[in-house]
Amino acid sequence: MERRDFLKLASAMAVSAAAPSVTHAEETSANKPNIIVLMADQWRTGLTKGSGYPLDTCPTFDAMAARGVRFDRAYCTTPLCVPSRISLITGRWPEAHRVRMNLQPEDAYYEKDLFQVAKESGYRTGLAGKNHTYLKKDRLDFWQEYMHGGGYKAPNAPKEYAEFEKWLGSLHFNVALEPAPFGVEAQLPYRIVNSAMEFIDMPSEQPFLVQVSFPEPHDPEQVPAPYWNMFPPESVPGRCGNGETYKQLGDRAKWLHSLQEDHFPTEKHWRRYVSNYLGALRMIDDQVKRLLDHLQAKGKLDNTVIVYTADHGDYLMDYGLARKGVGLPDCLARIPMVWTGYGVHPSNAGKTAHVSNADVMPTLCEVMGAAIPHGVQGRSLWPVLQGERYPAEEFRSVYAGVGVGGLYYEESDHIPTSISHDKKRPGSWDELNKVTMSGNEKMVRMGEWKLIYDMMGYGQLYNLKEDHCELHNLFNKPKFAAEQSRLMAELAMWVIRTQDALPTGPQNGKYQTKWPPEHNWYSPYRHGSAPEPYIP
């Protein structure tokens, strides 16, 4: 069966199957919680005081974590925008949803996504902020989209919005060396929260699901007063390695460094880069507080489930590199994730459980009381979040990958760093390109250990407790053979598990795949019986 034929059939089946259930959902919608998916773009984890960082960048995030569950070992499925965001709304890894780079969102493959499930469950749906997936305006009930250069403007919007966006464009996605000459109210996080509040306040008896997605702290790294120098460059903590460490990371990292320095003296301004980035985090955090205060004032906060996460991280000048693009270091692949609100029981479960942004979709299916669709590979966190018993083995590890395949481009290929040159933006550069995305790498994290392995058979093994910067490769060291073997087996399990099983079911006329029944968990069935559960 062709992909499009399957999707049409799956859609038709969904509509016919959903017709009576939607009526039932409307009857019981008053009992269902609202849902807010908060996202920041390119937000590296571990940068809040509550997670041990010396600067108080995100007090609202930390407060949400204190009354909910923060997952310290959360990872994206891949450290780039479009595939990661599609994983979040489909619950599928990139090798299954088939989008492995930012240029192909229309190729996404799935049975139902989060917004379809929500509509069928009687929810009204909305987007306020960055999309960067295959979603289109007509799929949701409310749509006010923003990207890095600007976004939605009502007919009576202040002229300052357009002027601010023109100034943003003049930065060419590089670090601002002066404070933004526009106030907070012109900035995108403020406007996005205005859009979210507009959607929330619309009169309706239906519960809502809204994605509130900030383009920041993604480049260009810029902030206005009072966030400019809120965390002065001289107060910025040290980084992993130094401005020369990228040379240890291979030809692609060297090429990426040349690309960034050919277009803007990023290394020279690395402390300003980090200072602006941290200021942007605080600016976003204050707007999240404004949104939460609004929910509280409207009497909706207690009946709302909130997940706050990111699509991927940022080098933040570790090793001398900016943004993202090469490899799977934790600074790129690990993400913040906190859950709070209705039904979420505060616990320490997030300290040891390994989770993925692909787990968000099946979790929210259970929050809505909906079945998890076929093809979803993520695991529901809802029992974990509710403080119920769950098998710790199910969350003993997490998996991610990067690359579009083929061989790595190397120094001998002589690829010019003008590959990302934009004639309209002479100082701009795109770190995601055929060089940085070449090859294919996979990683698994289990406990304090992390393994990275690629299509050439090159391996990396790190003990993150002792080497959080991942500078001392222990792969093939005899002393660590047992850990390496254990993680190689775990990686093989994940690679096999995330192969796609769609299309499946009676509609293909052959096999009906057996899906994990409850919570999309595998571990109770892996050994024939459920292992001893972990109790938070």
pLDDT in tens, 423-455: 666 778 999 999 999 999 999 999 999 999 999
Q: Whole-prediction pTM value?
A: 0.93
* Rounded Cα gap, residues 523 and 493, in angstroms: 12
Tens digits of per-residue pLDDT, 19-53?
333 334 444 566 899 999 999 999 999 999 999 99
* Rounded Cα gap, residues 158 and 58, in angstroms: 29
- Whether residue 14 has pLDDT greater than 90: no
Which residue in 47, 59, 57 sits closest to 282, CA to CA? 57
Phi and psi for 216 in degrees, rounded to 5? -85, 160
Around Cβ 268, how many Cβ atoms within 10 Å? 12
Q: Find the mean pLDDT for residues 449-467.
A: 98
Question: Are 380 and 359 spatial neighbours (Cβ–Cβ below 8 Å)?
Answer: yes
- Whether residue 136 has pLDDT greater than 60: yes
H/E segment holding residue 365: helix 360-367
Average pLDDT of the chain is 92
Encoded tokens for 296: 């509280």
Question: Are 285 and 61 spatial neighbours (Cβ–Cβ below 8 Å)?
Answer: yes
Which residue in 93, 20, 79, 27 sits closest to 403, CA to CA? 79
Q: At what angle do helices 270-297 and 59-66 cross, to 10 degrees?
A: 50
Query: Per CATH, which fold does 3-249+263-400+504-534 belong to?
Result: Alkaline Phosphatase, subunit A (3.40.720)
Name the CA radius of gyration of the chain, rounded: 23
Q: Is the peptide bond before 531 cis (omega within 30 degrees of 0)?
A: no
- Whether residue 513 has pLDDT greater than 60: yes
Q: Read off the amino acid at residue 492.
A: A
